[in-house]
Chain A
Amino acid sequence: MNKVSYLGELEHMLLWTVLRLGDEAYGLGVRDHLEEVAGRSVARGSVYVTLDRLVKKGYLESWLGDPDEQRAGRARRYFSVTAEGKAALRESRDALVSLWDGVEEAVEEA
């Protein structure tokens, strides 16, 4: 996969959310936060599948926490953005910025 593959919308949002949540970024927490910030509900399956895909792409890393009574003794899977993930975010941002360049006025006028 070429480095300059663009991040999808959900991928973007998930990377941001994981960054924002820091040490508390685990599946359900990410979903809750995403709904809060984005103001919309995101399909459960899409969140998990996408998180997994980001791990496989190397943009996120994950580890299991301690078993949790609240979760029937199951652990939380925590995520954090890797250097690669941050790079991808940057690249994506740069690309977007250059894309935005010169069209902002047109958008504002409408």
Chain B
Amino acid sequence: MSEVGGGRGNEDGPGREPGERRGWTERLLARVIGSEEAAEGILGDLREESRRRGVGPRSLRYRATVLGLVPRFALERLRRPGTSRAHPRRPLSRLARGHQSTVAALLHDLRVAVRSLARSPGFTAVATLTVALGIGATTATFSVVSGVLLRPLPYPDSDRLVRVHAAWEGNSVGDLSPGEHFDLLDRLQTFDAFGTYGYDSFTMIDNDGARQLPAAFVTAGVLQALEIEPMLGRPFGPGEDGPASTGVVVSHGFWQRELGADSAAVGREIPGQGVTLLGVLPPDFRLPEGVLGGPPVQMIAPLGLDRAQIESHGSHFLLGVGRLKAGVSVEEARADVARVGAWIYDNHAADYGGPMRFDALPLSEALLGDSRPALLLLLAAAVFVLLIACGNTANLLLTRADARRRDYALRAALGASRTRVVRQQFLESLVLGSLGGAAGLALAYAGTAGLVALDPPDIPRLDAVAVDGPVLLFALLASLVTGLLFGLLPAVQAAGRDAADSLREGGRAVQGGRGGERSRRLLVVGQTAFAVVLLSGAILFTRSFEELLDVDPGVDVANVLTARVDTPAARYPDDAEVRAVYGELETRLAARPGVVAAGAVVNLPLDRDLGDMGIELAGQPIPPGGDKPAADWQVVTPGWFDVMGPTLLAGRFLDARDGPEAPGAAVINETMAERFWPGDDALGARFLLGGGSRPGWVTVVGIVRDIRHDGLATPVKPQFFVPHRQFTFWNGGGPVRDMALVLRTDGAPAGFADDVRAVVREVDPRMAVSVVRTMEEIRSAALSRPRFLVSLLGAFGLVALAIAAVGIYGVVSYGVRRRTGEIGVRIALGAGRGRVTRLILGEGARLVGTGLLLGTVGAMLLARTVSGLLFGVSPGDPVTLVLVAVTLGAVALLATWIPTLRATRIDPTRALRAE
């Protein structure tokens, strides 16, 4: 009231001095009075009078006096509508010209909105809960997406880090070979640093016994590229990563546990390891793959590649990482890598089985790209839930708006402009949205904790998932947008409503306008459609998951226990000793009571992907410029076949005959037989292992059915098994030292973990046993991502179904209430129960049917975009469509049933009297 300045309009005539700015009570009164001249006179009188009495314009008393006049004028206008417009009404924008008064008016309207919501707690609770479900689901999912996908990798300028990889034609991403490492290192021009690395383990022995700890073997370029800054000491540099180098860096945890957090340990030998401690990593440090989760690497040691010994470029087992020079784009780097790659291929084509591509991609994409589609799918699903929730809330608001038509009409009569009514409506929606957002955030906290607790090993970086700043911002935005979204329709309805009409209708609360009815139906159709999309997504992925469960991995995973052991060169310098130890372990394990068979293998199926090896087929010379064949390789002891039970199609398994001195033998898979010896009997065929690996030439002694080694949904590649006792790595690298023991048991396999430890202790007390798992666990872990996807999509589908059901129920039962009179007349005229039932059910069916149709079309279109995530079912899977229709139909029937019952029980006399 004391705001000075800002003149009134000029409608009061020329030459007038501007009067004092009106306060909000005064403006309200002026509005109700309608005529500016009358308002000017009256407001002036009020000020003159209060001045006389010594009452200040800002006092409560003055305001009360002003407000006291409002009802009198409002009543007058209701009595004589349309006679008050001596002057055109001033538009709202001018009324609320000053910033302060806009805020004041908004605050006022906000108070009104809050009060009005507080008056109907039931409505508010239902609406809040619905919105909370939607926002909770969306926010929780977003927190995962944000934590996993959006957060940068924990390295300085991590956007300059790229993964460099090589891949055979047709494969997406492959590892690098030592030869390629040196060529790339020498020739790349757009990189500040480049290096390669691999993961392995080392054995730590102390008073507690022997343990195997995860380790990484890296070239100096990796440490440079990642800009690793040890907390103590220094990293190893170029020239310190060769075969003779012994300087390592260790994790903070290792330094604390094993070295007693002694700073003096730096520069000294690590006891029992034959290596020197150069530096200690900071506590949270992780190598790129460690960022995804899993136990952190305890030691980073030199990879020990020897430039002089590179014979072949064909053995790929190294991960490449590089740091781009500042200002170099990924595209430029890709061109650079491709250029060097072409040079490598041109100069070493003989080492490759086929055209080799070299490429680079951002490291974050390489690490996280796999989980992106699934996570984005989940986010989209959550947004759908939110939209359905919005639909319901909009419906609730529409119904409520109808019930308050007289209220709105009265406000309009009191001089509230449409804008004002619409604003009021919007404010209520925003308040509801915020309430829902707050409740949703609470749900999101719980939900995020739940998601992380589900801990799907295949969804990386779950430890980075938290409800944090970006997530809070997301929730806030979601609440606001949601509020606007579901407030839009009711507000438009309110704006379009004619006050006089509403009043003439006598304010019968249930009498909805035609427009309102249409909007409500439209909303239900939309909700149903979205629910159909979500539901079909959930069912589609469930079916895909079932297909995946049905996939025969090619091995028998039941009752198999696995454990990793290592025979480090430091303690087993003799190759024969390594082979003997595994033979001994196999024999002793198999002799334990309850153990049916025992064996050992390099890579467990469904656990780690197999690497491939270039080979040469006897009698099939490669034409100049032709492709050299390659196959996945696996090294096993004979017992492995007894344990894992692959199906023998021809010939025999590897067995005791295939000793170190015996001719080289191999078992191959069906795919390999068909690929390289199509139409021929592959049995007895011979091929040469690549890279100088021994036994060199091997003869195919058996063919087994395909084993889905790299994943249940991954296509099987040519694969061969060679005996552990015959195999040595290329370049005279010796036997495989790090193997997984496998044993088939006649009872629950997990119970045999102690047997494994006991046997290993018997054979060598200093040998460590690590990662003891059953094959079932490994299979389950391989299914974790689809399971995660399915459980979340299922949950979203159920929530969507529930919300949509409530929506359908609401609209149909509202329709029944609205048509009570009509139905009463029908019943009075002799319409039977069946007829009334058909009437109401038919109405529900029309809505649901339309939604179902639209949703099905949408679902089929959308399913195509996610077909890459599906396995064994087509996006347009008819079973899914039928299931969705049946489920939704059943739920819709249920939701329509109660209002239908109510309709058939309408008492005609009462219904008509109410009319």
CB nearest to B1 among chain A residues: A72
Contacts of A48 in B (CB 8 A): 33, 38, 42, 69, 72-73
Is A68 interfacial (CB-CB < 8 Å)?
A: yes
Q: Are B43 and A74 in contact (CB under 8 A)?
A: yes
Give the residues in chain B near A55, CB-CB below 8 Å.
38
* A71 neighbours in B (Cβ, 8 Å): 19, 44-45, 47-48, 51
A59 within 8 A of B: no
Closest to A43 in B: B72
Residues of A within 8 A of B47 (CB): 70-72, 74
Q: B45 near A45 (CB under 8 angstroms)?
A: no
Q: Which of B10-18, B163-171, B280-288, B668-676 contacts A (4 or more CB under 8 A)?
A: B10-18
Set of chain A residues within 8 Å of B80, measured between Cβ atoms = 53
Q: Contact between B45 and A28 (Cβ–Cβ < 8 Å)?
A: yes
By a CB distance below 8 angstroms, the chain A residues around B68 are 44-45
A64 touches B13 (CB 8 A): yes
* Pair B37/A28 contact, Cβ less than 8 Å: no
Chain B positions 1-57 with a Cβ under 8 Å from a chain A Cβ: 12-13, 16-20, 33, 35, 37-38, 40-45, 47-49, 51, 57
A46 interface residue (CB < 8 Å to B): yes
Does the CB pair B72–A74 fall under 8 Å? no
Contacts of A64 in B (CB 8 A): 12-13, 16, 37, 40-41
**CA–CA, A73 to B44, complex, Å?**
8
On A, residues with C-beta under 8 Å from B are 26-28, 31, 43-46, 48-49, 52-53, 55-56, 62-64, 66-68, 70-77
A67 in contact with B69 (CB, 8 Å): no
Query: Could you tell me the distance in whole angstroms from the C-beta of A60 to the nearest C-beta in chain B?
Result: 11
Contacts of A74 in B (CB 8 A): 19-20, 40-41, 43-44, 47
Whether B38 and A52, one on each chain, are in contact in the complex, defined by CB atoms closer than 8 angstroms, is yes
Residue of A43, A45, A49, A68 near B48 (CB, 8 A) is: A68
Q: Using a CB-CB cutoff of 8 Å, which residues 57-112 of chain B contact chain A?
A: 57, 65, 68-69, 71-73, 76, 80, 83
- Say whether A73 contacts B17, CB under 8 Å: yes
List residues of chain B with CB within 8 A of the CB of A70: 47-48, 51
Are B48 and A46 neighbours in the complex by a CB distance under 8 Å? no
Contact A77 B51 (CB under 8 A): no
Residue pairs across A and B with CB atoms within 8 Å: the count is: 93
Q: List 10 A-B contacts (CB under 8 A).
A: A55-B38, A56-B83, A64-B12, A70-B51, A72-B20, A72-B57, A73-B17, A75-B19, A76-B44, A76-B45
In the assembly, what is the distance between CA of A67 and CA of B65, in Å? 22
**Most chain B CB atoms below 10 A, which of A43, A70, A77:** A77
Residue numbers in B under 8 Å from A66 (CB-CB): 16
Question: Cα distance A19–B80 when bound, in Å?
Answer: 26
Known: A64-B13, A71-B47. 16 other contacts (CB 8 A): A27-B45, A44-B68, A44-B69, A48-B42, A52-B38, A56-B83, A62-B37, A62-B38, A64-B41, A71-B45, A72-B20, A73-B20, A74-B20, A74-B44, A76-B41, A77-B38
Would you call B38 and A72 a contact (CB within 8 A)?
Answer: no
Assuming A45-B73, A77-B42, is B35 touching A52 (CB within 8 A)? yes
Bound Cα distance from A76 to B45, whole angstroms? 7
Shortest Cβ gap from B711 to chain A (Å): 82
Q: What are the residues of chain A within 8 A of B72 when measuring CB–CB?
A: 43, 45-46, 48-49
Return B43 CB to nearest CB of chain A, in Å: 6
Interface string of B612-641 (1 = CB under 8 A from A): 000000000000000000000000000000
- Distance in angstroms between the alpha carbons of A94 and B65 in the assembled complex: 39
Contact call B42/A27, Cβ cutoff below 8 A: yes
Q: Chain A residues near B43: list those with CB within 8 A.
A: 74
A28 near B49 with CB under 8 A, answer: yes
With contacts A45-B68, A64-B12 taken as known, whether A77 is within 8 angstroms of B40 at the C-beta atoms is: yes
By a CB distance below 8 angstroms, the chain A residues around B45 are 26-28, 31, 71, 76
Q: Measured between alpha carbons, how far is A28 from B42 in the docked complex, in Å?
A: 8
A49-B73, A77-B44 known; A67 and B51 CB under 8 Å?
Answer: no
Q: Which residues of chain B are near A28, meaning CB under 8 Å?
A: 45, 48-49
Output the residue of B13, B17, B42, B49 with the most chain A CB within 10 A: B42
Task: Indicate whether A27 sits within 8 Å of B73 (C-beta atoms), given known contacts A67-B17, A72-B47.
Answer: no
Shortest distance between the CB of B16 and any CB in chain A (Å)? 6
Range class of the B interface residue count:
20 to 34
From A44, A49, A53, A75, B40 is in contact (CB under 8 Å) with: A75
> Chain A nearest CB: distance from B9 CB in Å?
13
On chain B, the residues within 8 Å of A75 by CB distance are 12, 16, 19, 40-41, 44
Give 5 closest A-B pairs by Cβ, nearest first.
Answer: A77-B41, A45-B72, A74-B44, A73-B19, A71-B44
* Residues from chain B with Cβ under 8 Å of A76 in the complex: 41, 44-45
Q: Are A72 and B19 in contact (CB under 8 A)?
A: yes
Minimum distance in angstroms from A41 CB to a CB of chain B: 13
In the complex, which residues of chain A have a beta carbon less than 8 angstroms from the beta carbon of B41?
26-27, 62, 64, 74-77
Chain B residues near A67 (CB, 8 Å)? 16-17, 19
Could you tell me the distance in whole angstroms from the C-beta of A36 to the nearest C-beta in chain B? 15
Give CA–CA (A71, B44) in the complex, Å: 5
- Looking across the interface, which residue of chain A has its beta carbon closest to that of B65? A44
Would A68 and B44 be within 8 Å (CB), given that A45-B72, A46-B72, A75-B12 are in contact? yes
Q: Shortest CB–CB separation between residue B47 and chain A, in angstroms?
A: 4
Chain A residues near B71: list those with CB within 8 A: 45
A45, A46, A53, A62 interface centre (most CB from chain B within 10 Å): A45
B498 nearest CB across to chain A (Å): 23
Distance of A76 Cα from B83 Cα, bound (Å): 22
Q: Once bound together, how far apart are the Cα atoms of A31 and B45, in whole Å?
A: 10
CB-CB < 8 A to B19: which residues of A? 67, 71-75
**Are A45 and B69 within 8 A (Cβ)?**
yes
Hey, which chain B residues are within 8 Å of A63, CB to CB?
Answer: 37
Least distance between A52 CB and chain B CB atoms (Å): 5
Q: With A and B bound together, what is the CA distance between A46 and B33 in angstroms?
A: 13
A57 closest partner in B (C-beta): B83
How far in angstroms is the closest Cβ of chain B from A72?
Answer: 4
Which residues of the other chain, A, contact B35 by a CB distance below 8 angstroms?
52
What residues of chain A lie closer than 8 Å to B20, measured between beta carbons?
72-74
Report B162 CB to chain A, min CB distance, Å: 72
Minimum CB distance partner of A31 in chain B:
B45
Q: How far is the CA of A60 from the CA of B37 in the complex (A)?
A: 14
Contacts of B57 in A (CB 8 A): 72
Chain B contacts for A31, CB-based, 8 A: 45
Q: Which residue of A lies closest to B75 (CB)?
A: A49
B1 → chain A closest CB, angstroms: 9
Question: Could you tell me the distance in whole angstroms from the C-beta of B738 to the nearest C-beta in chain A?
Answer: 92
Task: Determine the residue in chain B with the shortest Cβ distance to A48.
Answer: B42
**Contact partners of A73 in chain B: CB under 8 A:** 17-20
A90 shortest CB reach to chain B, Å: 25
B88 to chain A, nearest CB (A): 17
A49 vs B83: C-alpha distance when bound (angstroms): 12
- Report yes or no: B44 in contact with A72, Cβ–Cβ below 8 A: yes
Query: A77 CA to B19 CA in the complex, in Å?
Result: 14
Closest residue of chain A to B77, judged by CB? Answer: A49
Most chain A C-beta atoms within 10 Å of own C-beta, residue among B13, B33, B38, B80: B38
Q: How far is the CB of A2 from chain B (nearest CB, A)?
A: 16
Closest to B69 in A: A45
Interface-centre pick from B12, B19, B57, B68 (highest chain A CB count, 10 A): B19
Shortest distance between the CB of A28 and any CB in chain B (Å) = 4
- Chain B's closest residue to A32 (CB) is B49
Cβ distance A89 to chain B, nearest Cβ, rounded Å: 22
In the complex, A67 Cα to B8 Cα: how many Å?
A: 12
Are B73 and A77 neighbours in the complex by a CB distance under 8 Å? no
> Closest approach, in angstroms, between the C-beta of B423 and any C-beta of chain A?
28
List chain A residues, Cβ under 8 A from B33. Answer: 48, 52
Complex CA gap A28/B48 in Å reads 8
Among B814-871, those with CB < 8 Å from A are none
* Distance of A44 Cα from B71 Cα, bound (Å): 12
B residues near A44, Cβ cutoff 8 Å: 65, 68-69
A46 to B71 alpha-carbon distance, docked (Å): 11
Q: How far is the CA of A76 from the CA of B885 in the complex (A)?
A: 73
Cα distance A68–B45 in the bound complex, in angstroms: 10
Q: How far is the CB of A87 from chain B (nearest CB, A)?
A: 21
